[in-house]
Structure formats: C-alpha cells, structure tokens
Amino acid sequence: MEDICSFVLKEAEKRGADYCEAYGASNKESEVFIENNDLKQSKSHKTDGLGIRVFVNGSLGFSSTNILEKEHIGDAVTKAIKLARVSPSDKFNSMPYSRTVKLLNGIYDKKSESFTASDTVKLAADMLDAAKSYDKRVSVDSGNFTSSVMTHALLNSNGIRTKETISAFSWSIMGMAIEGSEVSNFDFQFGGTHNVKDIDVYSTSREFSKSVIDSLGSKKIESFKGEMLLTPSAVTELIQDVLAYSINSQTVQKEASKFEGQLGKSVSSDLLTLIDDATDINGLGASSFDREGVPHQRNIIIEKGILKKFLYNTYTANKGDTKSTGNAGGSPKTPPMVSTTNVIIKAGKTRADNLISEIDKGIIINRFSGNVNPVNGDFSGVVKGGQYIEKGNIEYAVKELMVAGNVFDALNDLTGISKEQKVLSDSILPYMRFDNVSFTAG
Amino acid sequence: MTNLLVIDDLFSLISKARNTKYVEVRYQSRTTNEVNFSNGELERIRSIENSGCGIRVLVDGCWGFSSTNLLSKDGLNDSLYEAISVAKLLAGMKKNKVKGLASSKLAKGLFKTNIRGDLSSIDIENKVRITKEAEEQARKYSPVIKFASCVYREMLDHKLIVNSDGAEVEIYDSKPEFNVTTVARKENESVTTSEGIGITGGWQDLFSEKDHIDYANLASEKATKLLEAKHVTGERTTIILDPGMVGLISHEAIGHMVEADFVLSGSIVKDKIGTKVASNLITMVDSGQPDIGSNAAGTLIVDDEGVIARRSVIIQDGILKSFLHNRETALMFDAQPTGNARAFEYDDDLLIRMRNTFIEPGYDKLDDMIKETKHGYLIKGARNGQADANGEFMFGSQEVYLVERGELKELLRGTSVSGSAFDVLQSVDMVGKDFKFDIGTGYCGKFQPAKVDGGGPHIRCNAIIGGLQ
C-alpha cells in the first residue's frame, strides 16, 4: 500500500498538483450473521481503498478508487486535479508536516493471524446460545460476529510517511422477548475489542436477554416530571451525538454549535468530564495517527463542567489559528473531516445501583428512539426498555412513554455518574442520571 | 468509464463452481460524485469509484458470501472458493438449513433507467455552481439564517447479475439528489430545516418542478417562520399527515414489519395475512416501478437476485395481503418472490429491502380534512423515524400547524408523532386524492444503506403528538 501511495504522489506532481496526500487502507474481514434465532450466513471480504487529496492553487480536489491498477489510479489522480480546478481557492488549505508518530501498542493482536473463519462461526454460535439459554422467551432477530485486520498508510508531499496494522473483533445482538401475544421492546447490545483474549460475547448476550425480558409485562403510566437514568447505550443515543457535534470545530466555525464562544466557561454540571482519546486502546476507535497522518493524542474537552477545547484537523486548526488535535477522520472514500475517536465520559464515584436507589420518582431508559437536534439540543422520542422507579425501587417496565427536553439543559441537571463504564465500540461511557425530565404518557 | 468486466466473465466463473446448489455473481461499478457547500465554503467535493464482485453460494443448505475488488481471473476464483468454504463451515453448525429458492422467471437482458438529461454529460462545473448558488441564496434570504448547507450527490451504477438459475442481467441506473439545509437562530432559539429532492432519473428530472434557488428559498422561508413558532403541547389527538409523513409511516412502521426476514423472527404481523389491519380506506403498496408518481428514488427494475421488482400490494382495502420477499423466504411462505432482494454496493450482502412504499390515493380533499377537524394538527415535512418490533413508532416532523374548529391556525415547531402503527392505520378516516413521493433524499438503514422512497396522499388519523409537558 505504501508503494501505491508513493506512486500517487509522483503522478499527482507530474499532472500538476501543488500538494498531494494519498491514504490507503486494506481490510480483510470475516463475519458471521445471526438471523431469526439461527446462524444465517458467513461472509468474507477483501477490500482496498485509496483516497487522493490534492491542492491546486489553493483549491481542493478529491477522488477515490478501489481498483488499484496503475491506469485507474492515474485516472483517479487526474479526476482529483480536475475537481480542484473547478473548486474555489481557500487560504486555509494545507497539509501537515512530518512529525514522529509513536505507534500504539495493544491495537494489533498477533493472535488475530491464527484466528480463523471457523473461530468466527463458533463465537457467533456461542453468542446465540447464551442469549437463548438465559430465557426461552428471548427471540434473537439478528446479530453478528466480525473479525478484521486493517492496514492503513498515509503519505503526503510534506514528508509524512506512516503506516500501521490494527486488529478488531466486534459483535452485536438484537431482538426481543415474546410471551404469548406480547412482544417486548426491541433491544440492541454490542461489544468489541482489539485482542482475542478480551472477546466476551457471553456478557453482551446476557445483558441483551435481561433487558428484553425485563421489558415484558410493561404498563402505561401517567405523565410526570422526575429523574431519568440513562444506561451507557442510551447515553450514546441521547447525549453523545449532541456533545460530539458541539465540540467539533467544523460546526463551531459554522456557528452551528451551542458551545461556540463558551471556551473556559461552564457548559454542564461539574460532574461531567469529557475526553476524546484515540490512544485509549480499550476503544475500537484507537489508532496511532489520524486521517492526515497527525499523531493521535488524549484531548480533555470538558473538565468538571468547564469547556477546555474543540476538536481540530489541519484545515479547521488553520482557520481557528490553533493546532490540529489529531482529529482528522474518515475513510479513503472521503477527504479528511473532523471526527471523534474514542469518546469517553469519565466514571463517577457512585455505583449504578445507588444511583437508582436515590431516585424518588423516575425512569431508567435503556434505549431512546427519537429525534435529537444536535444544534439546539432539543430531543423528543419514545422510551424503550424503560423501567419505572419509585422510592428507590424498580417497580415495573413501562410502555408508550414519551420523553422530551433539551440536552444542554439536562447537562446542568446532571445529578450522578456511575462508577461503572461500558465500552461500546468507540465510546466508553458510564450510567448518567438527570433531574427535571418531562415524561408524557402515550 | 471502461467496463471492468463483461457478462461472459461472470458465466465462466459460475461454471467453475462444484457441488453448489446455487451460485450468483454480481458485478457492480458505482461512481458517486458529491459537492457540498456550507456557509460560503466548499465543505466537500469528491468523486468515488467503488467496483467489484459479490459472490453468493448455497452449499449444503448454507449461504456463503464473499466479495473482492480484485477482478482478475485469479482474484475472482479465490473469492468464489472463499464463499464456498465459508458456507461449508457454517453447514456444521446451522440448525435450519435453507430449503431452496422459490422459482421465478428470472430477468434476461439490458435494463436502463428512464432518464432525461444524462448526469455524466453535465459538467462538474455546473454541479459546483448550482450547489454554491443555492447555499448563498439560502443565507441571503433572511438575516436570521445563520447557517446554510447544500449538497448535490449522484450515484451512477453499472451492474451485471448472473446466477445459476438463469438470470442474465445488465443494468444502468442513475440516482441524483439535491438538498438544502438551513439553521435560523435568534438569542437562545434555533431551528433546523431542509428542503430537497432525491430521485431516479437525470438532470432535467431532478429540477423539473423546482430549480436549485427554489429549494434554497423554501428551506429558509420555513426556518425563518419556525423561529417565531411556539412548541406543541403533547397529546393524543386528530392528526393530518402530509405525503412525506405518510411515506415515512408506510416505510418505517408497516414496511419493515412485513419484510419476510423480520416476520420470521416474530414480527407482530406474522399470523395476520388475510386479516383486517387497517381502516378499509387504506391500500398500501411497495413497488420497484410505481405506476403512480414519477422518478421515485427507490425505483428498481430488477432486484439483485434477478427477479423483476414488481408491484406488491401489502394492504388492500385494510386487509393485510402480502409480505415482502426474496426467493428464499418466498419458498418458505409459499409465495411469489416480490423482487425485494437488494444490496447497496457490490460488497454488501442481499437483504430484503423496500423500494417505493406508499399509500394509494383516496377521494378526499385536504381542505375538507381541515374543515372537518375540530381540534388537531397538520404535520408536514418528514424528518426521520424508527419503529419497534411491537409496532410502536416515532417519527419527526419539521412543521406542525394547529387546526381549530375547521381552520388552519398558527404554525408550531416540528415535533415527533408516535403511536402503535396498526392502531394509527385503523384510525384513518380520510384519505386524500393527491399523491406525492417525498422521502427520496433519505436512505434506509438495515445493516447497509438503501435508496428508497415513500409517499402517498394526505391522510387523517389519530396519534400522539409529542412535546414538552
């Protein structure tokens, strides 16, 4: 892949590009699907991708191809240059210069080399068995187990030349519980790791099964205002996306972020510390360098409620007169954007059990199905896998309950963060409790 | 662009498969071009080529799938053997073997989407220009518009589908879309809206009704008005849904539930064929080639199994008639394949997916629906939505109009509408005579994206409108 990227740089220079960046990724993946309580299908993929970014007179052009033959690559280079020639010039377009990238340990497991397609089949079967053996009312609609090895390389005309290989294993399970004519809420759980020894499909299955069984026998309840406890999965759906959107320099610079102009100020309860960290090898978002070849680093974004920084790539950093935070993201099919890597909400001091027992009247939300507006933070939707709590006790599962409010207001009404954290692919999140939440009966 | 493979390459590969019950080779070469301007700046410009073969085999009652971008003879052979070997691995563990595939007359020949204005003949400069102009116009519209963005995207496909049951298809498809998003802001209030179009067709089809500036003005006008609007109080009441919202409910709340793979895992409709599931005013259809409306984004001539993507009536006059099938589920349900087996790109597996899902028009006028409503809301502008296994659904809207004593009153902020899908359909008491496909800028997500569309007339029903308590 490095040779192909080198070839791109040479061709781009020949064909008139002032600057060029070549990002290549090769992926080998094996996946088994579960459907309708049975193994469904085995898949195996080999894919390559090459992304070519050029600047001509300060204008951006980008093309991508997955056919890595010289003629196609040459055509793709020409196409990128053609696009640059019809694009407006932008003084903030630049590519980073070479810096030492310290390659991360722990994201490539040598054991992945001997991990076979039959291991993948066996783990998928184990995951299904674990879910079904928990309770026979559990019905698994779908799921998967995937193992992959990815090598990516980045070269640019400013001397960056870097490459690494990452192994990843991930799995998911979704479905419901069925008892007579009653069908429970849908639940979805997943897990992932870079290392063979940390593969744990059993816990994921059990958590899924418990959640769907617990949501059987659900009752309607009256509208009320009270506390809400979000599970880590619900935190991803309700809170994480709004935060990720608001701390992104692209949205800040477009004046579309609620956090614009708030650096150094309080944006939430002091219980919240938000970190973006691609060097945390527990998350599947871990890698050594970003989509422009800039070394990854740990970025504390919100510290005890105070907004400390935004996430930047080279372009937005030029524009904001600051340095890239190593958050250029994207695949070879897209020019570098700004993205989060591993999103981490720091664990609190209270156990999740205690967060529940302190609630006078409230709802545990396992999943949220609805709309969250990342710009203004308004959310409204249906509580899924919800459980009603009164005087510290879980009373029963609820149905047809709507929840509405505003994420930014809620962050100021944060009343607790759990000690426990869960790794959900590229998020590492605790349970979070909020007060003053409106629940509307359906 | 040169074709990397021809149909004979696929035939010769299939002839090499031994001990397989079924082999299918799909070659797909997709070019995606995209231009995006945001707040006066080029946000993104790109051209992507993604080409390769997806190979699916049925061995010992198990499916194996493999994909590759290496299109040499060796690359394709390796991929075929990989598919066969992973299928064999599964054969030892799988409980319920695939019994076979329903027979169907499989398509042969060349199929091209009807288009006016070949997208590849429109210079990229033109695409950059209209995107830039629309974004500028959206911000110029009003000083309260603080952010605007405009995207033009086109997907051009060349596909070859050959399988051991006789399909022999070459397809050219063309799907462009254009969308303007704006954010209006004042003090601590902000509103996001969008206006756009997504179709199957060409350049003239895309801008046949409105031009790029019209979309910009519409998006900004909506955001500007909504900024002054109040929030809705949550309640269960009479709701009039616009065609986009009808398309969304058809797709999300009913369509997914009647996908045969979902039915097999216990969807609540599994025993409901032939029973009344909706008001008898409701006829709901999923069709690859709708005989109503034009240029729907989910248009599909032949599905990826080589089955003609015909019209499937899901609900006829309130009675549930059919699920949506691939050839495997059609055999299990003793039904006809409906042409719903789709893969997004060459490396995606085939899944049961919808195409254009809609409710057929009735006899009422929108004016009458409003006149005959004492208290309720008119909901406009589908946002997005989800539905659960038990039929509970929730979807977002951009605009809400209060209806009081038969008159359209003030504009309110968009909010979510929810309910139990079949209860809502049972409650339908008026169906409009108008018709529109209106969710073509969206993509349906089910492990992989799919270009779909949905629509219908305005309908009146009873549902829960969300809001702050």
Chain B contact for A132 (CB, 8 A cutoff): no
Q: Is the pLDDT of residue B467 over 70?
A: no
Q: Which residues contact A184 (CB under 8 A, 6 or more apart)?
A: A176, A177, A178, A212, A213, A215, A216, A218, A385, A397, B389, B390
The burial of A102, by beta-carbon neighbours within 10 Å (0-12 exposed, 13-18 middle, 19 or more buried), is given as exposed
Half-sphere exposure of B2 (CA within 13 A, CB side): 5
Are the beta carbons of B411 and B401 closer than 8 angstroms?
yes
Taking each continuous run of H as one helix and of E as one strand, the counts in chain B are: 10, 24
Of A60, A64, A139, the CB nearest to B266: A139
**Distance, CA of B322 to CA of B138 (rounded, Å):** 44
pLDDT band, very low/low/confident/very high, at B468 (cuts 50, 70, 90): very low
pTM: 0.89
Chain B residues in contact with A63 by the CB 8 A cut-off are: 46-49
Q: How far apart are CA B286 and CA A23, in angstroms?
A: 41
Chain A to chain B Cβ contacts (< 8 Å): 234
Q: How far is CA B69 from the centre of its chain?
A: 27
With tokens 């009422």, the residue in question is: B364
Map out the domains of chain B as residue ranges.
7-227, 235-465
Evaluate whether A290 touches A313 at the Cβ level (below 8 Å). Answer: yes
- Please name the residue of chain A whose CA is at the shortest distance from the CA of residue B78: A46
Residue A120: both structure tokens together: 């993948």
Task: Tell if the CB–CB gap between B45 and A44 is shorter than 8 Å.
Answer: no
Long-range contacts, stretch B89-94, CB < 8 angstroms, 24+ apart: B89/A42, B89/A117, B89/A118, B89/A121, B90/A32, B90/A39, B90/A41, B90/A42, B90/A121, B90/B62, B90/B63, B90/B64, B91/B59, B91/B60, B91/B61, B91/B62, B93/A39, B93/A121, B93/A122, B93/A125, B94/A38, B94/A39, B94/B61, B94/B62
Q: Does A334 touch chain B (CB under 8 A)?
A: yes
Asked if A65 lies within 8 A of B48 by C-beta distance, the reply is yes
**Does the beta carbon of B287 lie under 8 angstroms from any beta carbon of chain A?**
no
Of B220, B285, B191, B274, the closest CA to residue B246 belongs to B285
pLDDT at B469: 32
Instruction: Give me the DSSP letters along B71-137.
Output: -SHHHHHHHHHHHHHHHHHHHTT-SS---------B-EEEEE---SS-GGGS-HHHHHHHHHHHHHH
Tell me the ipTM for this assembly: 0.88
Those residues with Cβ within 8 angstroms of residue A260's Cβ, 6 or more apart along the chain or in another chain: A252
Task: Tell whether B6 is within 8 A of chain A (Cβ).
Answer: no
> Which chain B residues contact residue A142 at CB under 8 A?
265, 447
pLDDT at site A34? 93
Q: How far apart are CA A257 and CA A408, in angstroms?
A: 11
Residue pair B185/A373 in contact by the 8 Å Cβ criterion: no
Per-residue pLDDT at B66 exceeds 70: yes
Question: What mean pLDDT do residues B236-243 have?
Answer: 96
Distance of alpha carbon B37 from alpha carbon A177, whole angstroms: 46
Q: What is the mean pLDDT of chain A?
A: 95
Q: How far, in Å, CA of B338 to CA of B327, rounded?
A: 8
The architecture of the domain spanning A2-214 is 2-Layer Sandwich (3.30)
Nearest-CA neighbor of B374 among B460, B281, B457, B466?
B460
What homologous superfamily is domain B7-227 in, according to CATH?
PmbA/TldD superfamily (3.30.2290.10)
What is the DSSP annotation of A210-248? Answer: HHHHHTTT-B----EEEEEEE-HHHHIIIIIHHHHHHTB
Phi-psi region of B301 (alpha: psi -120 to 50; beta: other; left: phi over 0): alpha
pLDDT per position as a tens digit, B421-462 = 899 999 999 999 999 999 999 888 887 899 999 999 999 999
Whole-angstrom CA distances from A314 to A93, A251, A322 are: 8, 15, 9
The CA distance from B28 to A292, in Å, is: 30
pLDDT single digits (tens) B257-301: 999 988 987 788 989 999 999 999 999 999 999 888 889 999 999
B46·A63 Cβ contact <8 A: yes
Length of chain B: 469
| Average pLDDT of span B20-28 | 97
Tens-digit pLDDT profile for residues A117-134: 889 999 999 999 999 999
Domain boundaries, chain A: 2-214, 224-239+347-441, 240-345
Across the interface, whether the CB atoms of A45 and B63 are under 8 A apart is answered no
Q: Note the pLDDT of residue A400.
A: 84
Select the residue from B47, B60, B346 to test the A interface by mutation, using most A Cβ atoms within 10 A.
B47
CB-CB neighbors (< 8 A) of B326 in chain A = none
Residues in chain A: 442
Asked if the C-beta of B326 comes within 8 angstroms of chain A's C-beta atoms, the answer is no
pLDDT < 50: residue spans in chain A = none
Tally Cβ neighbours within 10 Å of residue A372. 20
Please, are residues B101 and B72 in contact by the beta-carbon 8 Å criterion? Answer: no
- In this complex, is the C-beta atom of A351 within 8 Å of any C-beta atom belonging to chain B? no
Residues B251 and B356: their CA atoms lie apart, in Å, by 8
Higher pLDDT, B367 or B392: B367
The residues in A 20-49 lying below 8 A from B, measured between CB atoms, are 30, 32-33, 35-48
